[in-house]
Structure 1
Amino acid sequence: MSLRLRTITREEHLAFVRARPSASHLQTPSWGEVKPDWRAESLGWFDEDGSLVGAGLVLLRPLPKVRRHLAYLPEGPLIDWTAPDLARWLDPMLAHLKAEGAFSVRMGPPVVARRWRAETVKAAIADPRAGRLRDVDADVHEPRAFDAADRLRRAGWRRAEAGGEDGFAAGQPQYVCQVPLAGRSLEEVRAGLNQQWRRNIKKSEQAGVKVVEGGIEDLPVFYDLYTETAARDRFVPRPLAYFRRMWTALRAEDPDRMRLYLAHHENDVLAAATMLRVGDHVWYSYGASTSRKREVQPNNAIQWRMLSDAHELGAAVYDFRGITDTLDAEDHLLGLLRFKVGAGGEAVEYLGEWEYPLNRALHTAFAFYMSRR
C-alpha cells in the first residue's frame, strides 16, 4: 500500500500527537515557534483510506547566500519505525523536501536500541576496564531497532556526526537517562533512589527547602541562576527571550506542556528547573543553581518534586535527557551521569541521528564548512 504525504494543519498535527501515548516535545507543532530562525512545517502521511497515519515537524534552515535549506526533524518523524519497508515512509518525505529546496535532511528516529539498568551502570563506572557505556553488555536489546538501522543504511541514509543544537549543528542526545514510573508506586520510586539521593532529600527537608511552581514572571529569577550556571560550567547560555518563547508557545498549545520549579531556602532561590510533558512522557529540560548553600541540597529537592509530580500526572517515564556514554573517571561529565543514575534511572541508547544528502555537492560543502567553524 502506498502512502501519500502532504503538509498538514497545526490542528491535524496536534490531534495526531495527542492520540499517541508519547511523542517528543520536539515533534509538537508549538516547537516550531520556539525556533524563529527555522521555518517550521507539519508533515502528514496518509494511507489509501485517507487516514493520517504519521506526522512530523520539520524545521527548515536557509543556507547563507543560496536558496537551499537544511531540513531537520528532531526526534522524529512519528511514523511506524518497525515497518519492513521504511522507504515507503521516507521516500515521499525526501521528495517533498527536495521540492522545497532542501539540500540535506537530518532526522532522529525515536527508536530505543539498548537499555542499561542503574545497577549495571553503577557497576560499569566502578570497573576500571570499562571505557564507554556502549562497550558494556546491555540489559535490554531491541532487535527491531537494529533492523531499522540496517534498512536506513540500505536506503542511502548515513548516521550523522554528533553536534550541538545551535545553528546548523543541530543534534539531540543519543544517550539519555530515564526513570521508569509506570506500574510503580511513589514509595517504590523513592526506594529506587540510591542512598546518597535519599540522604540529600532528607537534608533538604530538614533544612526547610521549599520547592514551588513558578510562572512566566519567575523566568528572570530562573535566568539569573541559569547564567550563573553557564559561567560556572563554561557553556554559552541561551537568551532570556528563548525561554519566554518556550513558555508562551508550549503552554498555549497545552497548559501543562511546560512547568517551572523554584527551590526556596529562607529568602533565597537556590535552584530552578523546567519540566516538559507530552502524553505519558515527562522531561527534565533545563536546570540552574547557585553555588551558595549547596549543603541544603536544593538540586535533589527540586528533582524529587518533579519526579513526584510526574508520577502524580500518570507519567510512564521521567526523562533526565542527555548523558555521556563515557565511563572515564577523569571526564567531568561522569558526575552528571552518577547524579542521574542515582535517581534510579536507566541509561538508554537511541538510534542517533541520520542524514540524507539530496544535493551531494552542497551537503559535502556544508559538512566541510561546519567542520571548520
Structure 2
Amino acid sequence: MSAAVSSVDRVEMLRPSGALRADTIELTRRLVGADDWDAIISGFDTVCQEQIFAFAQMRWPSVILEPNLFYVGNVPVGGVLIMIQRLPGGLSSIAIAKWAPMIADTQHPEADAIYSAMVAALKAEYADKRGMLVSILPHASTDPHNADYAALRGAGFKRGYALTYPDRYLVKLQLSEGELRASFDQTWRRQLNKSEKNNLRFEPAPPEQLGAFKSLYAAMSERKLFPDFSAFDTLDKLFALDPALRPALFYVYEGDTLVAGAVIFKAGKRAVYLYGATNAAALPLRAGYFLHFHIIQWLSQNTDADWYDLGGTDGFLGLHQFKKGMVGSRGVITPVPPVVNYASNPLAYALGVGALSAREMLHRLRRTLSRANRNIAQSDQPLPPLDRQFS
C-alpha cells in the first residue's frame, strides 16, 4: 500500500546557486501528511490530478508517496509529490514526479528561481543523500519554449523516453463569447452553430449523479471499442475530494435524454478534460461541440483557469481534427516534454533508467497488442517528429 511520511519529518534549508536568481531564494522543505498536502496544493496555480495524494494513492498503490512542500518563510511556494518505486531485489529505488514541480503562484516575481531551487532540493535529497534516480515528467508549456524542461536539463537531468503522441491541445479561456466563437476554426464553428438548433440543454451536475456518467461511459466504450488505458477506476475517489479539488461534472440532454457528459479537473490555472462520454445519438446532434462550448464558458465564468487542456489524441486523427478546431486561433497545440532523469551515482542511474526503459517497453507492447486486435479502434494519426527543443 502507498504510504506517506507524516507531518514535518525533515526540514532542510536550501540556498541553491547557478539558476536564474536562485541564489537569492531560501527554501524550507517539509514532508507533510496526506490531508495537509491535498488541502494546501488545492490553491496552487499548477496543481494537477497526478499530484493529488488521494488520486496517486489509488492510481499507483505499490509506491511510497512523499509529499514535499517548499516554503519561503511561512508561505508555501511550491511542492512535489514524489513516488518512490523500489526496484526488484532492493537493488535501488526511483523517485518519480509527474507534472512537477508545482508552483503556487506562477506570477511570483521569482517563480523561475523557486522552480530551480525545488529541483536542486530534489537532487540533494533523493539523488545525493538517498542514492536514487530522480525521474521527472514536466508539464507541457503554453509558451513555444518549455522553460521547465530547459531548467531541468540545465540542472543536469538527461532526456528519457518521450510520449508517442506528445501533443496537448489547449483552449484559451477568459474570452468573451464573441471572441471565443471567432477563435474556433470555421468548420468547428459551423458544427457548433448546427448543434445549437437541436434542442440540446447543458447542465452542471452534482456528484450524486456520477452514476449516470459511468453508465454512459461504459456504453460508449463498448460501442466505439477504443482501447482504454485511463484511470477511470479512480473517479469515485476524485469525487470524494473536498470541493476545491473535486472535478466538475457536466451533462448535455436532448429533451430528457442524456446524450453527452464530461468530467473536468477545474483547480488551478489549467483546467483539464479528464473523461467524456456520448450515446449513439450524440454524433448527428453534434452534442460534443455543444458540450465543450458550454464547458469553456462555464470554466471562464466560474474558475480562475486561463487554459482548458483537452489532453492528447492517442493517435486518432478524428480526435486531432476535433480538438485542433476547438483550439483555433487563440489556443495552442504544444508537446509534453520527454521524461528527464538524474542520479549522482552511475549505478543508480543505470539501474533506474533500465527499469524505466523496461516498463516503457511493456507499455508499448501492450498498446501494440491492442492494435493487433481488429475489434479495437485503430490509431490512424501520423507519428509526429520530436520537437527540436527536446532533441
TM-score normalised per structure 1 = 0.73
Match of 2:355 in 1: 366
Task: Report the RMSD for the aligned CA atoms in angstroms.
Answer: 3.4
Q: Is contact 1:16–1:55 with CA below 8 Å preserved after alignment?
A: no
Deviation, structure 1 residue 211? 2.1
Structure 1 pair 366–174 and aligned structure 2 pair: CA distance change class (3 A): same
Match of 2:169 among 169, 177, 187: 177
Q: Is the 8 A contact 1:149 1:351 kept in 2?
A: no
What SS does structure 1 have at the residue aligned with 2:138? coil
> 1:342 aligns to what SS in structure 2?
helix
| 8 Å Cα contact 1:145-1:351 kept in structure 2 | no
Structure 2: how far apart are the matches of 1:94 and 1:351? 19
Task: Output the amino acid matched with 2:311.
Answer: R
How far does the alpha carbon of each residue in 1:10-42 deviate from its partner, in whole angstroms, 9 at most, with x for none? 566456535544433333444334435143221
Distance in 2 (CA, whole Å) between partners of 1:150 and 1:240 is: 33
Aligned-residue sequence identity (percent) comes to 19
Mapped to 1, the partners of 2:64 and 2:277 lie a distance apart of 29
8 Å CA contact retained: 1:25, 1:277: no
Match of 1:244 in 2: 236
Partner of residue 286 from structure 1, selected from 275, 279, 285: 275
Name which of 274, 278, 299 aligns with 2:288. Answer: 299
Which runs of structure 2 are paired with 1:138-153 in the superposition (5 Å)? 141-142=144-145, 144=147, 147-148=150-151, 150-152=153-155
* Alpha-carbon distance in structure 2 between the residues aligned to 1:195 and 1:31: 38
1:107-138 deviations in Å (ceiling 9; x for gaps): 12336275xxxxxxxxxxxxxxxxxxxxxxxx
Query: Which stretch of structure 1 is more off in the superposition, 210-219 or 22-31?
Result: 22-31
Aligned twin of 1:134: none
Query: 1:83 — aligned with what?
Result: 113
Deviation at 1:147, TM superposition (A): 4.3
Structure 1 position 342, deviation (Å):
1.0
**How far is the alpha carbon of 1:101 from its aligned partner?**
6.7
**Residues 100 and 139 in structure 2, CA contact (< 8 A), matched pair in contact too:** yes
Residue 262 (str. 1) matches residue 245 (str. 2): no
Is residue 42 of structure 1 aligned with residue 45 of structure 2? no
Q: Work out whether residues 38 and 53 of structure 2, in 8 Å CA contact, stay in contact via their aligned partners in 1.
A: yes
* Per-residue deviation, 1:208: 1.2
Offset of residue 370 of structure 1: 2.2
Q: How does 1:117-196 map to 2 (within 5 A)?
A: 141-142=144-145, 144=147, 147-148=150-151, 150-152=153-155, 155=156, 157-162=157-162, 174-182=166-174, 184-196=175-187
Residue by residue, what CA displacement relative to the aligned partner does 1:35-92 show, whole Å, maximum 9, x if unpaired? 3514322102345x56544311222344455385433211101257733994x53343
Q: Which has the higher contact order (CA 8 A, sep 6+)?
A: 1
- Which structure 1 segments of 5+ residues have no match? 115-140, 165-172, 325-331
The reply to whether residue 212 of structure 1 matches residue 203 of structure 2 is yes
What amino acid maps onto 1:338 in structure 2? Q
Is structure 2 residue 344 aligned with structure 1 residue 355? no
| C-alpha displacement of 1:223 | 2.1
Tell me the alpha carbon deviations over residues 184-225 of structure 1, each in whole angstroms, 9 at most, x when there is no partner: 312211221223333323333322122222233433322233
Cα pair distance change 1:237/1:223, threshold 3 Å: farther
The normalised TM-score by structure 2 is: 0.70
- How far apart are residue 241 of structure 1 and its match? 4.0
1:335–1:354 distance in 2 versus 1, CA, 3 Å: same
SS of structure 2 residue aligned to 1:112: coil
Q: Report what 1:56 is aligned to.
A: 80
Distance of aligned partners of 1:65 and 1:226 in 2 relative to their CA distance in 1, 3 Å threshold: farther
Number of corresponding residues: 323
Aligned-pair CA distance for 1:175: 2.4
Cα pair distance change 1:304/1:11, threshold 3 Å = same
- Alpha-carbon distance in 2 for matches of 1:282, 1:189: 17
Question: What displacement does 1:237 show?
Answer: 5.6
Change in Cα spacing, 1:286 to 1:67, as seen in structure 2 (3 Å) is farther
Give the structure 2 partner of residue 200 of structure 1.
191
CA contact (8 A) 1:178 1:347 kept: yes
What corresponds to 2:319 in structure 1?
Answer: 336
- Aligned match for 1:319, one of 296, 309, 313: 309
Q: How does 1:92-103 map to 2 (within 5 A)?
A: 92-97=121-126, 103=132
Q: Tell me the CA shift for residue 347 of structure 1.
A: 0.8
Q: CA deviation at 1:295?
A: 0.7
In 1, distance between residues paired with 2:238 and 2:35? Answer: 19
> 2:215 matched to which residue of 1?
224
| 2:226 is the counterpart of 1:234 | yes
**Alpha-carbon separation, structure 2, partners of 1:272 and 1:143:** 33
In structure 2, the gaps of 5 or more residues are 1-14, 17-26, 104-109, 363-391
Check the 8 A contact 1:69/1:101 in 2, yes or no.
Answer: no
Mean CA deviation greater in 62-71 or 309-318: 62-71
Distance 1:15 1:246 in 2: 14
Q: Give 1:245's aligned amino acid.
A: K
Assess if the C-alpha contact under 8 Å between 1:71 and 1:102 holds in 2: no
Q: Secondary structure at the residue paired with 2:262? A: strand
